[in-house]
Amino acid sequence: MKPIVDYLTSARRTLDLEIKALQGLAEHLDSSFERACERVLSCTGRVVVTGMGKSGHIANKLAATLASTGTPAFFVHPGEASHGDMGMITEDDVVIALSNSGEVAEVVTLIPLIKRLGAGLIAMTGNADSTLGRAADAHIYCGVEQEACPLNLAPTSSTTAALVMGDALSIALLEARGFTADDFAFSHPGGSLGRKLLLKIGDIMHRDEAMPAVSPDTLLRDALLEMSHKGLGMTTIISSEGDLLGVFTDGDLRRTLDRGIDILTTPIRTVMHSGAKTMHSEQLAAQALFEMEERKITSLVIVDDARPVGVIHMHDILRAGVA
């Protein structure tokens, strides 16, 4: 017969135990953590993160976090390292090894190889007096009094502690490097933040023949054909010298028709409006979206050196994933 379990009580107990474990970590932060940071910052190669089992999963995540926050890093499985992947580690690298006990055989086996190679070694364990802890150039304590598992066997609180300490290390290094939002975007060009911080208007605007443009003497009828052909719901009006004189939009058309103006005989210059909002091609697409939302418009004329060079529509920005 299965035991009766109060799921919410169990979940709350787990959370309480893991929170308690994390609160205890701060008491163990010392100069060894600082040495670990300095060792990584002085590294001329890469940071190699390793760990076995559940610690290996945390190590893999730590490597990814380091790499995305300015510290070049990658994960090496300790079992694979003993069968060829040690060749991925050089004397210029620093190895961060995770093991709660500090005695896991697959990681301990690598210690003399790392030392012989001349690479740095940082240990993240729950026992500074372990084989791994004693061998390391710097030891970061990640120990816990009790696992959240009621059997005190399954790695739960200990892996959470290692995960959070890895984040603490990553963020300390990020701040030490002066890592910026732009730097982060370059590490995440496919993400929403990357697109917001990297994508420029010039990358997605309609230019050259794709830009709707007519002369001031163009009849309104023909200007409407240009608008329909280019499909942006507007057209620019450009002088023979290449200067922007104004714009005409779908909204302007509705107001023009309400006034009973003849589209067959009226030149566009008599119904266009000047003073259109413009931006530069080197500005961010996210800035263009902000301007459109603020002004409740759907397109902007793009100018470089005071000359119109393109048009960007809100749909272009949304399709590019900047939202």
| Res 60: pLDDT | 96
Give the strand pairing for 278-279 and 299-304. parallel
- Report residue 320 as tokens: 């590019």
Is the pLDDT score of 26 beyond 80? yes
Q: pLDDT by residue (tens digit) across 57-102?
A: 999 999 999 988 889 999 999 999 888 888 999 999 999 999 999 9
Q: Would the pLDDT of 15 be above 70?
A: yes
Are 243 and 151 contained in the same domain? no
Per-residue confidence (pLDDT) for residue 323, from 0 to 100? 65
pLDDT (mean) for 148-165 = 90
Predicted model pTM: 0.66
Mean pLDDT computed over 261-265: 89
Residue 155 confidence class, pLDDT cut points 50, 70, 90:
confident
pLDDT of amino acid 98: 97
Task: Based on the fold, state whether residues 174 and 63 are members of the same structural domain.
Answer: yes
- Residues 22 and 150 grouped into a single domain: yes
Closest CA to 88 of 116, 52, 129, 47: 47
pLDDT band at 274 (very low <50, low <70, confident <90, very high): confident
- Does 205 lie in the same domain as 175? no
CB–CB of 49/66 below 8 Å? Answer: yes
Q: Tokens 């300490």 sit at which residue?
A: 165
Residue 145's pLDDT band, with cuts at 50, 70 and 90, is confident
Percentage with pLDDT > 70 across the chain: 94
pLDDT digits (tens, 9 = 90+) for 297-311: 889 999 988 789 999
The verdict on 168 and 29 lying in the same domain is yes
- Same domain for 175 and 214, yes or no, is no
42 inside domain? yes
Instruction: Report how far residue 269's alpha carbon sits from residue 254's, in angstroms, rounded to the nearest whole number.
Output: 16
Band of residue 186 on the pLDDT scale cut at 50, 70, 90: low
pLDDT digits (tens, 9 = 90+) for 218-246: 999 999 999 999 999 999 999 999 999 99
Alpha-carbon distance of 289 to 298, in angstroms, equals: 9
- The β-bridge relationship of strands 47-51 and 94-98 is parallel
SS3 labels along the chain: CCCCCCHHHHHHHHHHHHHHHHHHHHHHCCHHHHHHHHHHHCCCCCEEEEECCHHHHHHHHHHHHHHHCCCCEEECCHHHHCCCHHHHCCCCCEEEEECCCCCCHHHHCCHHHHHHHCCEEEEEECCCCCHHHHHCCEEEECCCCCCCCCCCCCCCHHHHHHHHHHHHHHHHHHHHHCCCHHHHHHHCCCCHHHHHHHCEHHHHCEEHHHCCEECCCCEHHHHHHHHHHHCCCEEEEECCCCCEEEEEEHHHHHHHHHCCCCCCCCEHHHCCECCCCEECCCCEHHHHHHHHHHHCCCEEEEEECCEEEEEEEHHHHHHCCCC
What does pLDDT average to over the chain?
90
Cα-based distances in Å from 249 to 69, 101, 120, 189: 45, 70, 64, 34
Q: Evaluate if residue 104 carries a pLDDT over 60.
A: yes
List the domain range (segments joined by +) for residue 296. 201-319
CATH of the domain at 35: 3.40.50.10490
Has residue 104 been placed in a domain? yes
CB 230 within 8 A of CB 316: no
Judge whether residue 189 has pLDDT over 60. Answer: no
CATH code, domain carrying 276 = 3.10.580.10
- Residue-level pLDDT at 36: 97
Q: Are 148 and 238 within one domain?
A: no
Distance from C-alpha of 304 to C-alpha of 30, rounded to nearest angstrom: 54
pLDDT at 194: 56
Say how many domains are in the chain: 2
The model's confidence at residue 46, banded by pLDDT at 50, 70 and 90, is very high
- CA pair distance 142, 125, nearest whole angstrom: 5
Range in 99-108, 167-176, 184-193 the model is least confident about? 184-193
Stretch 104-115: mean pLDDT, rounded?
95
